[in-house]
Amino acid sequence: MDLLSEDKLSMMAPVEKIRFIIDEVKRGKILVLEKGLTPQEQADLIEMTMTNIDPEDFSGIEMESYPTKSDNSILGKLFKKGIRTRLTVIGPANKLKTLRKDRDLITALVSNK
């Protein structure tokens, strides 16, 4: 399992970030992203994952994030900081299963398949 800081991911271009995540998950790693992904990055990750699925080698990904938090303050709205992404867990679909998710807790089962 790798814990990735917001700083490491923010240095990457969106396509580079998605490619990095897919490559690491294909190697069997489970990634915990400190900041999470934007909705567009999540969509791109799912799309790119679908093109890489191979029943013999790569079964896809499991991805869970805490719900986003909105900054409803005047300054947050003024500076377009209304939505903040939060921690995201990503791993191979055959190794990571989400058992429960709520506002502040993600319970997952990790197997050694």
CATH of residue 82: 3.30.110
What count of residues does the chain have? 113
pLDDT digit string, tens, across residues 31-87: 999 888 888 888 999 999 998 888 788 888 888 887 666 556 666 666 555 555 678
Answer for the pair 95, 30: CB distance below 8 angstroms, yes or no. yes
Provide the domain count of the chain.
1
pLDDT in tens, 5-34: 989 998 999 999 999 999 999 998 999 998
